[in-house]
Structure 1
């Protein structure tokens, strides 16, 4: 069973990179997020019919997570507008475990593990390398990627604390997904002239847009299932391989340059993130 679950987690990492690629290549990222929000809203609303209400003490965490996830989406859209997919994605994903590790050390008093410290060094070196283009700092794209990584870290820490007091992890997730996707859906409906114009003007394009949201949910659902069969650290480490998939997707489908420097930097970020997670 374990080899199959490992393959599923790797498939989840590929799916995560894939929906991000959908967003990067979209001509209208506001529209893309709006379309992606509808599968989230429908599935979350259905799930809430069958799960108990989360504990009262978890609502501040639910609200904070929804705000941070909304901010993450906005920052990600801006980052993809300014930089290559194979540059932005590894920086944002790599910065997250680094900041979570730092937050756990500062605020939770977790011990400094030698492997984690080595991971911090590798992630830092990889991010610095990705941040420069021909010896010049990529000022147009890197700051937005770093902000994106900070938002990922923020909602990761909040969710880690909130789900412990919610009583029902599925209820917690469903409410977070519902709350942060409603603004995207509402804005898309307002901006594009209501549901009829939004969905029927180009049905094929609308289905492709919503497919991004479905792919993202499947990717996360696989991870939730994998937590039942594999150690959490192993699942988290395997998910970091999504950065490798992102670089390959950028090279194959977006004609981005696959330089030795970018490959090495991405490998450093991925290896470092794995060491921090385990």
Structure 2
């Protein structure tokens, strides 16, 4: 698979494939985000996912994909630092604010930040249609956050601090997306980056949970009910991350990141189809803005 992906790099087909992969990443990410929908402690939910990821990623990294070269070790050190800062901000955000409000803020702020940063780092240039699509996408995403905020009945006392952390989380999404896009472009085999990333990234939170259990601050009984959720997350996370990273290797980093954030739209669909949430005319209009943004980006 890696050899085939490398063989199509730089072709028109690669650009089309990158857009498809970015949209697939959005679907997987929305499903992954639904696993952390705020009903449980976000730290414990993430720990359950990372434990399953640890058990899945290390055997694949050690035995099924090529090992990274010595000159690439610094990339994984950077990955470890940036992603752990992001997870710290994300956990604090979800602990303080309603998921339906803060999640769109994280994803919307990450779109703008990633497009700007990738334009600087990778000298990417976007057409007027693509900029229009990005702005339409961001307006729709932030509009959903405002809509959900107005409907919020509880948790308002910590909401403003949560929104500030959500913006910082979005900036960290832009930082890791740009850094990871650079990293995967340095690898002879892109799957090396994907699976070694997860092997390294899945270490931190399970270690903290182990310490908390030993100290008596956390009971294993709180984690056991989340085993199934952890296993599902361990499958969805590599699919989402792998798709968007392949997209950034094949084509524009900023556009791939923008299309990935249509995950907010797919999350709304999941809420309607599986959680039986209602969708009024305002939410329909905001979702239409997101769809319009994705179409404009593709037209551009």
Pairwise TM-score range, normalised by the shorter structure: 0.7 to 0.9
Aligned to 1:66: 80
* C-alpha contact (below 8 Å) 1:86/1:256 kept by paired residues: no
Aligned mates of 2:99, 2:270 — CA distance in 1? 8
Deviation at 1:152, TM superposition (A): 1.2
Residue 193 of structure 2 is matched in structure 1 by: 172
Runs of 5+ unmatched residues, structure 2: 1-12, 14-18
Q: Bigger CA drift: 142-151 or 125-134?
A: 125-134
Contact 1:62–1:176 (Cα < 8 Å) also in 2 = yes
Matched, 1:243 2:264: yes
Distance 1:225 1:160 in 2: 6
> Is structure 2 residue 155 aligned with structure 1 residue 155?
no
| SS of structure 1 residue aligned to 2:37 | helix
Are positions 1:15 and 2:36 aligned together? no
Distance 1:74 1:187, change over 3 A: same
- 1:150-176: CA deviation from partner (whole Å, max 9, x where unpaired): 111111110111122233322222232
Distance 2:28 2:97 in 1: 21
Q: Which one of 22, 27, 41 corresponds to residue 40 of structure 2?
A: 27
Aligned mates of 1:88, 1:73 — CA distance in 2: 14
Q: Deviations over 1:59-101 (max 9, x none)?
A: 3322222222222222223333344433333332233232222
Instruction: Give the Å deviation of 1:41.
Output: 1.4
**Cα displacement (A) at 1:185:** 0.9
Q: 2:119 is matched with which residue: 98, 102, 105?
A: 105
Work out whether 1:120 is the aligned partner of 2:134.
Answer: yes
How many pairs were matched up? Answer: 269
Mapped contact 2:61–2:199 kept (Cα < 8 A): no
Using the TM superposition, give the Cα deviation of residue 178 of structure 1 relative to its aligned residue in structure 2, in angstroms.
Answer: 2.2
Which residue of structure 2 aligns with residue 191 of structure 1? 212
Root-mean-square deviation (CA, aligned residues, Å) is 3.9
Q: Which moved more, 1:29-38 or 1:240-249?
A: 240-249
Say if 1:198 and 1:271 are closer, same or farther in 2 by CA, change over 3 A. farther
Whether contact under 8 Å (2:22, 2:257) holds in the other structure is: no
Structure 1 residues 225 and 114, CA, compared in 2 at 3 Å: closer, same or farther? Answer: closer
Worse-superposed segment, 32-41 or 20-29? 20-29
Question: What SS is found at the alignment partner of 1:23?
Answer: coil
TM-score (norm 1): 0.76
Measured in 1, the distance between the counterparts of 2:96 and 2:291 equals 22
The separation in 2 between residues aligned to 1:46 and 1:143, in whole angstroms, is 38
- In the alignment, what sits opposite 2:57? 44
Change (3 A) 1:261 1:64: farther
TM-score (norm 2): 0.71
Q: How many Å separate the matches in 2 of 1:266 and 1:142?
A: 21
- Cα distance change of structure 1 residues 115 and 182 upon mapping to structure 2, 3 Å threshold: same
Q: Which runs of 5+ in 1 are unaligned?
A: none
Question: Does the CA-based 8 Å contact 1:116-1:276 persist in structure 2?
Answer: yes
- Return closer, same or farther for 1:209/1:40 CA change in 2, 3 Å cut-off: closer
